[in-house]
Chains A and B, each alone.
Chain A
């Protein structure tokens, strides 16, 4: 168990700045997801915490100990790699035992720890097999068991589920959550998949262009994105942004006066697809249906509204042809406001 402090970490690859003064304070036992598109620096940051990459500036402090000058092997961490990196020439048992053997643990402890970790991940029947005989999902379990067997103070995970198929990913996600909650390990989890980050993490650090643009609980990130990028990246389909003109502290959204955080000027109103009510054409924002996609549990309606494409999610089962005219009424209490120039949130 340990607290992690990432302190003003910068990383330059030649002229390219991959990480720009990133600071992140992670509490003991906390699960933080680093979420962002590829190239945002999330994997680089994780590798710097692991010591596999050296930062240009800044400090990594774990459990009060400055690890900046400490080599990877002496940091006492555990990591799960995207491609598992389960050693192909060793049995599952030897793979899980690897970290303990490196610590020169005594054989009875190794045996007990390996069996405990294998039990947690339901792979106790495969201990004598080689990874070549296992499926992707089973190899992933071995990789997680290998990491948990050393009872690490800090667990680093680099897109651990991205090589699994959709159903297996769902299954492993729930299982990981259970296992990691039991273990109580401080975890940094890198992913580009916002549902993984939302589902697993205590807090999400959304990264963009080498910076952390928002760090909050999943609900807060979803409800109150601090930038237009966060609103668009978190949530599927992404948040809609409608340009509005504010006069006298009020914006008009579909004939509905909505109190705005500024008295006048242009703003972007961010509305989640599920925060629209579909009403009669003359009662809200006028929109024209482009596509209707019935998805079973809900329906995704793509409409054209004031020249912009807007996505609406409704629990109703509808079957409208393209070209149908409808009205949209946003839930005024759920609207977030962005400055169109800076793309930063405005208001409380």
Chain B
């Protein structure tokens, strides 16, 4: 092989590697440095300030609450949608296309749409009033109604981000040869047994990908929450934003950012371990 062709692959990869290094690794290292230093001297003060803040524990609690409700719900719904899509004899592409529309909507826009639906004089209240279920404009998204506020955010998140899980699972399902399901059927397995004993285990690699992606993104939830609830429903990224923008305390904002990275990494490690499939078990 000539010298030129030996280096060519690296040369071609170099721009993207440099790009990622400049715009991802450097800021990450810098963020970590900012979070642990005060005017050049090492300190844990920013972390103390973060943990001592009135909104910190509610933000942790709310973020985790959203992750543990939204992600399983999305996976369950996406699995159902993907399985139903597989059964369609025709029109699959159209349904696939419609079901993935939310993917094209920015999260802030999605939050505003749901705000328009759920706010005091929104479509939901109009509909409920028309049906005679409520007397007049009712507030669902305030500090005094944490239950409905949470449900509102949950609905918006599920609507907005289930499609990505769905797409990954559809791709995964298509990789499973139909003979596996047919063989199970021949040997007497019911549709539910086939799903549980054949489809689900063979879908593990795709489930793993979808879970990691969705969980990491769910820990970073911000725009939808911000649009619907403002600071009435504090979440980690929202707090980082407030400390950065309103309080101009960059060290504390950096501490939040580092905390979010650590939590996301930990979740990824857990998924990789729990859903590990050995090479020989794959098709």
Question: Contact mask A97-115 → B, CB, 8 Å, 1/0?
Answer: 0110011000000000000
CB distance from A154 to the nearest CB of B (A): 11
| Contacting pair A81 B179 (CB below 8 A) | yes
In the complex, the chain B residue whose C-beta lies closest to that of A130 is B280
CA distance A76 to B184 in the complex (A): 12
- From A52, A98, A133, B280 is in contact (CB under 8 Å) with A133
Identify whether the interface residues of B are mostly helix, strand, loop, or mixed: helix
Question: Which residues of A39-81 are within 8 A (CB) of B?
Answer: 50, 52, 71-79, 81
| Contacting pair B187 A85 (CB below 8 A) | no
Judge if B177 is at the interface, Cβ distance under 8 Å. yes
| Contacting pair A88 B281 (CB below 8 A) | yes
Judge if A272 is at the interface, Cβ distance under 8 Å. no
Q: Known A72-B186, A73-B189; judge A132-B280 contact (CB<8 A).
A: yes
Interface size class of A (residues with CB under 8 A): 20 to 34
| Contacting pair B201 A89 (CB below 8 A) | yes
List the B side residues contacting A83 at CB < 8 Å. 177, 179
| Contacting pair A79 B201 (CB below 8 A) | no
Q: How many residues of B contact A (CB 8 A)?
A: 24
- From A73, A89, A129, A130, B185 is in contact (CB under 8 Å) with A73
- From B187, B193, B202, B277, A99 is in contact (CB under 8 Å) with B187
In the complex, the chain A residue whose C-beta lies closest to that of B278 is A130
- From B182, B278, B280, A81 is in contact (CB under 8 Å) with B182
Question: Contact mask B173-217 → A, CB, 8 Å, 1/0?
Answer: 000010110111111111001000010011010000000000000
CA distance A71 to B202 in the complex (A): 24
Judge if A87 is at the interface, Cβ distance under 8 Å. yes
Question: Which residues of B147-180 are within 8 A (CB) of A?
Answer: 177, 179-180
- From B183, B204, B278, B280, A79 is in contact (CB under 8 Å) with B183
List the A side residues contacting B189 at CB < 8 Å. 73, 98, 102
In the complex, the chain B residue whose C-beta lies closest to that of A88 is B283
CB distance from A52 to the nearest CB of B (A): 5
- From A50, A78, A88, A129, B282 is in contact (CB under 8 Å) with A88
Judge if B2 is at the interface, Cβ distance under 8 Å. no
Judge if A150 is at the interface, Cβ distance under 8 Å. yes
Question: Which residues of A134-189 are within 8 A (CB) of B?
Answer: 146, 150
| Contacting pair B193 A102 (CB below 8 A) | yes
In the complex, the chain A residue whose C-beta lies closest to that of B280 is A132
In the complex, the chain B residue whose C-beta lies closest to that of A50 is B186
List the B side residues contacting A78 at CB < 8 Å. 186-187
- From B187, B193, B201, B279, A132 is in contact (CB under 8 Å) with B279
- From A52, A89, A146, B187 is in contact (CB under 8 Å) with A146
In the complex, the chain A residue whose C-beta lies closest to that of B281 is A89
List the A side residues contacting B190 at CB < 8 Å. 73
Question: Contact mask A189-225 → B, CB, 8 Å, 1/0?
Answer: 0000000000000000000000000000000000000
List residues of chain B with CB under 8 Å of any chain A CB: 177, 179-180, 182-190, 193, 198, 201-202, 204, 277-283
Q: Rank and list the top 7 A-B pairs by shortest CB-CB distance, nearest first.
A: A132-B280, A102-B188, A99-B187, A85-B179, A85-B183, A130-B280, A88-B283
For the complex with contacts A78-B186, A98-B184, A132-B279, 7 further pairs of A-B residues with Cβ separation under 8 Å are A52-B182, A73-B189, A73-B190, A78-B187, A79-B186, A89-B281, A102-B188
10 intermolecular pairs with C-beta atoms under 8 Å apart:
A73-B190, A76-B188, A85-B177, A85-B183, A87-B184, A88-B281, A89-B282, A98-B189, A132-B279, A132-B280
List residues of chain A with CB under 8 Å of any chain B CB: 50, 52, 71-79, 81, 83, 85, 87-89, 98-99, 102-103, 129-133, 146, 150
